[in-house]
Amino acid sequence: MSTVFVTGATGLAGSNVCKQLTERGDRVRALVRTVSDAKPLAEMGVVLIEGDITEAESVRQAAEGSDAAIHTAALLGGASQDLADFEAVNFDGTRHVLDAAEAVGMRRVVALSTGTFFDTTGDGPLEEAPIAEHPSDDPYTVTKLAAFREAHARAASGQDVVTCHPGAIYGPGPVAKRALARTSFNRVLQAGLQGKIARYLSFPVTWVFADDVARGSIAALDHGVSGERYMLDGRPQDTLSTAECCNKACEIAGVPHRVEDVEVSDDPALLAEFGPTLVAIARDERGDPKQRSTDTPTSRRLGYRATSLDDGLVALVDWLRGLGRID
């Protein structure tokens, strides 16, 4: 039995990490901003420590007594982005977790990252894809790339650190309010199911079930190798635009509403509606990612296998119906 420190524990990925860790018998310490918002985690037996990822001492105190960490806390891209806020959470927050891990003698840190700054057009495995020559300059990508570089610099210096890179995370979460946060993919799919959106920016999205992200992150904790990175994606055949995924969810739910793809342009209304991160992704000149084999360094090292999008959306629709979010 280990004690694992989890950041971002109320979020979709983090709450599923907490659930899976406690189910297998590990002790979990979670840094949360407000204990009252994390009651489902307390009911699992998670020890809640109130604090803030942007405060180094707060993170160190919360990490005390932990053997390892899974760092999922992040500020996600939205319509309005302030670089200082993103630096405080995504970059400084990662440094605080890595510093705390060294201070309390953790054996490993698993840091969740993103794949938005990799050049995915090559033929090799994504685990070896280079950083794009001209990555997007939106605050989310800039700060997540800085955090990625920091994590791997620490690994190169001898700290035991691995990074995991999920696609677009969707699916049920133990803390429903946070699993349906404004910037979440769940929120977009719910809006499609409710008939609240008519269009969405068209670009290929690698959908990944939240339970798979948690399972892959824990496998990286158990079986990963320091300095490596692991791509926690969905199946290659399940790469769809957001509109197409919304429509697939509507078909599964028996909802007649459909969402249309909209191509990126210089129309300022698109920037206001979808925000700089999504516009940058849609405008990406590197082209569509190649369809790759499911036999990857991640699957071989971690035993990672992705849930099909159909099965994941069935679970999402059932969960949303249970919450009374769709008819």
The answer to whether residue 87 is domain-embedded is yes
pLDDT score at 291: 57
Total domain count for the chain? 1
pLDDT score at 272: 83
The answer to whether residue 101 is domain-embedded is yes
The answer to whether residue 115 is domain-embedded is yes
pLDDT score at 46: 98
pLDDT score at 292: 61
Tokens of 273: 């509606």
The answer to whether residue 269 is domain-embedded is no
3-state secondary structure at position 206:
strand
Detail the DSSP E strand segments found in the chain.
Answer: 3-7, 27-32, 47-50, 68-71, 108-112, 161-166, 168-170, 199-201, 205-209, 229-232, 239-240, 260-262
State the pTM of this model. Answer: 0.93
3-state secondary structure at position 81:
coil
The answer to whether residue 97 is domain-embedded is yes
Residue 316 identity (one-letter amino acid): L
Task: Going from the first residue of the chain to its last (327 residues), give the mean pLDDT of each consecutive group of 10, the final group possibly shorter.
Answer: 95 98 98 93 97 97 98 82 92 98 98 93 88 90 97 98 97 96 94 96 94 98 98 95 98 97 87 80 61 81 97 98 94
Residue 301 identity (one-letter amino acid): R
The answer to whether residue 251 is domain-embedded is no
Closest residue by Cα to residue 216 from 74, 20, 23 = 20
**CATH number where 121 lies:** 3.40.50.720
Q: Dump the DSSP string for 40-85.
A: HHHHHTPEEEE--TT-HHHHHHHHTT-SEEEE---PPP-SS--HHH
Q: Give the chain's largest Cα–Cα span.
A: 55
The answer to whether residue 93 is domain-embedded is yes
Bridge partners of 108, per DSSP, are 68
pLDDT score at 276: 79
Domain coverage including residue 74 = 3-169+208-234+293-306
pLDDT score at 266: 83
